[in-house]
Structure 1
């Protein structure tokens, strides 16, 4: 059949076109579309040169929500007519793969799991000039996850974005490709937005170029770190991981599963109740514990925890309640699922559930992180085991009581020059120049706060003379014989000690959640760069 002659503009205008790659398991256009299928569709002519179908839809006409507010001041009405929101998706075939171009609200015509995850991100990283980046969307792992968009006023290299390759997850990137004739700019996440002069007749060829770029690994020359941690957005994989998690819980295989608050809370006041527990009958728990939680759920079901068959729905509907000493009110704070912290190992990667989201950790990166953390492990000599239920404050006071070689600085908050909030220099300071920071259990959010606090305090001690004077005054009150050790702030004279109270029987520091290992390594390497000695210690919990 003779190919149709298509009239094209002499100089096509610059457009923003959004491309998605359909997963291989979707063999036809209709399989990638939501049910019911859009009523309006139009196929490209058979002699066009490539196969494609356009699907369109319109939402019911309605006024924007703000109109009713404005009409309160204009009883006679305002000249705003209801309008529909049109959407379209063009599905086409190129190199035996299906592609989707979306227009308006057309993305919503596709099934949620029909498209390849990170297609746009990978294509963009493989095609852009690494020295001509414009914008990065990052997710930074700390005690709470920070989402940021970092933009520069002109094309720049990666160095201009201050990326921390240890803890930053790349969500989207914008940059310029070397071939300006193909595109002026590319922006990639799951979808790829191409800004350039593209002819409709060349769409299939454009898709072939994008598919070729998607299959390449050129991005590893400048962006290899993006594979270290990836958010799992594939719904099928999340479902499979959740099934594995439920199987492990129901089999009692809990050594890599625990409960932790998914956000920072005030541990001096909080207690917890599990979904099945009642006020006046069950005492609140001082901490979250997966074994206690399963026993509480089994008690409600009238059986034993070993015979309990829990479903994902049980964890998503069940709520952890937070109890405060100064109030009888209990707040349903989080779904039980969001409090699960789990690690599932595969052949090539490690998958981690944290705060309700699954992450894929490249296995060699996980192994290197653990190796780096082990390099800082040290025994904290002379420190007794913690008692079950003993608070950090009580433990610190007991250790320091009567000691001539320790000064208790727990809860001594000192303000740095220009700082908005005071900081705690450490929990204990030792005769050998150790700034000792102590935290209970292996909770990612609490430990992230521990590592951050220790880093900030050490850096402030180093650069702020007024802070050192305040610290010396506090030290003089606690243990005058140690105050003179603060006079000459040479980093190599001091050791920043991070000590974790845990009753876990697992190896150390394997007992730490992966994100805790990751955060520790980042802070330890930063402090070592200043010249401080750094150590990661374990304080056992024994009855």
Structure 2
């Protein structure tokens, strides 16, 4: 039984070696395998121990083309079968030997969803389609129904799944951009296996149980993605970052990561994940350095795909020795870039280096939910353009004769502190206020309101703590926070957004923010709350 990691490429190149990263092309050798049109093999530099996969390949590799002792732990096999190109990677570093910019990014996921029964899922990796994105990997102790993972189909993007098969071409599958497969087929049957995988990728079986994944559909057609990339570059060149941000394209182990830096940023390390503004500060410095040499450096898609963001961990050193940083993650800046582009009336999202088209019916459903939210008409004063939110909340609270709860954190034993709201009125209105500065500000607003609402409704001891808070006691509102019988329907959660230009809510929010608002609205109303929004003008 052999464990293979398989990638599918988008198109046939002039030379199969171009699908191997540059560092390993010089080590590549040609092989002949029955049923394959072309086969290229490359390996990582020798190590001290023999790899587990060597016996699987040894019968087809010419001895004279290899070092005397092949002890590399990683390798890649590029295979052409019926004009389709596949990469089979081996060992922990095998995937870094493949030019991932050319792969079909939903290959492994589609093969899995087309073959694993919906009640035989073992693991799901998902991320929420929000600015404050939550990336989660869940694993069941044994295969279970997909619904056990509590996927929220209106806001979750499935990154990968894995499970076991019965009476099929493999015993185990794990799929994301690549496909991990446990198979009994020998190397001589690799052409047959690749053909089976391609057939299984092209099936539409997944639509019966998982058709909703096409709500956010991966785009691989260059005729669509190239114009989108041009629109993206125009935004970046005009320093329009309002709906763009950087995020890690995979789950990272924060316990390992001590610092980050962009490639070539010697000695300049930061302790938190860099922002898009910090990248452009780095780019500006690089551009000035090149100009000082008499060269030029212009922003381009190629630059975004060549500049890398790296994460490091510290390695323990002996006293008196300089600190050594070990690289634990590395991504291109383009892979970390997330954003939104509108083209020809359609909405597209850039996530983790891939373009997705938002299905129109799905988008319309989100818009319908947004448009159904009642607009509050509280007499909130206008916010000054340069006025701080804290100062505004004090002033607005006075105007409403309400309690200002801004920065009044509630602390409960065994829980993280949280803000109850920014303004609490005698009419039991929990008002959360935020100046609109982009999708991240809206994400923070909605997150605060949702966390507060959930904790307030389900934790009596939290209501007790809030009722004892000095501000609440001063305004004599303890009974409104801790009634004899608590009913969420007696309370109204209001998301108040301060904007510079008066526009309909659907024109103010990005797609990410719309998904988040729709989700928080449904969640809070299901709990029993009344939920409203209010637009605060800025003057």
**Normalising to structure 1: TM-score of the pair?**
0.71
Distance 1:431 1:410 in 2: 16
Which residue pairs with 1:10 in the alignment? none
> 1:443-458 counterparts in 2 under 5 A?
443-458=438-453
Distance 1:246 1:55 in 2: 37
Which residue pairs with 1:258 in the alignment? 242
Q: Deviations over 1:485-508 (max 9, x none)?
A: 751321222111111112144432
Distance 1:132 1:359 in 2: 30
| TM-fit CA distance, 1:31 | 4.5
**1:510 partner SS:** helix
- Contact map agreement 1:426 1:454 (CA 8 A) in 2: yes
Which residue pairs with 1:115 in the alignment? 103
- Contact map agreement 2:214 2:359 (CA 8 A) in 1: no
Distance 1:508 1:16 in 2: 51
- Contact map agreement 1:56 1:106 (CA 8 A) in 2: no
Which residue pairs with 2:43 in the alignment? 57
Which residue pairs with 1:6 in the alignment? none
- Contact map agreement 2:12 2:83 (CA 8 A) in 1: no
Which residue pairs with 1:410 in the alignment? 406
Which residue pairs with 2:456 in the alignment? 461
Which residue pairs with 2:151 in the alignment? 163
Which runs of 5 or more residues in structure 2 are unaligned?
Answer: 50-68, 248-274, 289-296, 310-331
| TM-fit CA distance, 1:150 | 1.1
Which residue pairs with 1:441 in the alignment? 436
Which residue pairs with 1:272 in the alignment? none
Which residue pairs with 2:56 in the alignment? none
- Contact map agreement 1:139 1:169 (CA 8 A) in 2: yes
**2:505 partner SS:** coil
Distance 2:84 2:337 in 1: 38
Which residue pairs with 1:379 in the alignment? 376
Which residue pairs with 1:79 in the alignment? none
Which residue pairs with 2:86 in the alignment? 99
Which runs of 5 or more residues in structure 1 are unaligned?
Answer: 1-13, 64-81, 264-287, 302-308, 320-334
Which residue pairs with 2:250 in the alignment? none
Which residue pairs with 1:480 in the alignment? 476
Distance 1:87 1:443 in 2: 44
Q: Deviations over 1:398-454 (max 9, x none)?
A: 1222644x23222222234x4432222111122332111111114333322222221
| TM-fit CA distance, 1:54 | 4.1
| TM-fit CA distance, 1:96 | 3.2
Distance 1:339 1:41 in 2: 33
Distance 2:355 2:478 in 1: 45
Distance 1:482 1:88, change over 3 A: closer
| TM-fit CA distance, 1:532 | 1.0
| TM-fit CA distance, 1:383 | 1.2
Distance 1:314 1:113, change over 3 A: closer
- Contact map agreement 1:185 1:194 (CA 8 A) in 2: yes
Distance 1:40 1:246 in 2: 36
Q: Which one of 201, 225, 242 corresponds to residue 214 of structure 1?
A: 201
- Contact map agreement 2:246 2:276 (CA 8 A) in 1: no
Distance 1:532 1:106, change over 3 A: closer
1:202 maps to 2:189: yes
- Contact map agreement 1:396 1:428 (CA 8 A) in 2: yes
**Normalising to structure 2: TM-score of the pair?**
0.72
Distance 1:172 1:234, change over 3 A: farther
| TM-fit CA distance, 1:312 | 4.2
Distance 1:390 1:32 in 2: 54
| TM-fit CA distance, 1:519 | 1.3
- Contact map agreement 1:454 1:496 (CA 8 A) in 2: yes
Which residue pairs with 2:260 in the alignment? none
1:514 maps to 2:521: no
**2:102 partner SS:** coil
Distance 1:402 1:191, change over 3 A: closer
Distance 2:4 2:490 in 1: 59
Which residue pairs with 1:370 in the alignment? 367
- Contact map agreement 2:29 2:42 (CA 8 A) in 1: yes
Which residue pairs with 1:24 in the alignment? 11
Q: Deviations over 1:73-111 (max 9, x none)?
A: xxxxxxxxx985254433333343222323335544443
| TM-fit CA distance, 1:242 | 4.0
Question: What is the alpha-carbon root mean square deviation over aligned residues?
Answer: 4.0
**2:496 partner SS:** strand
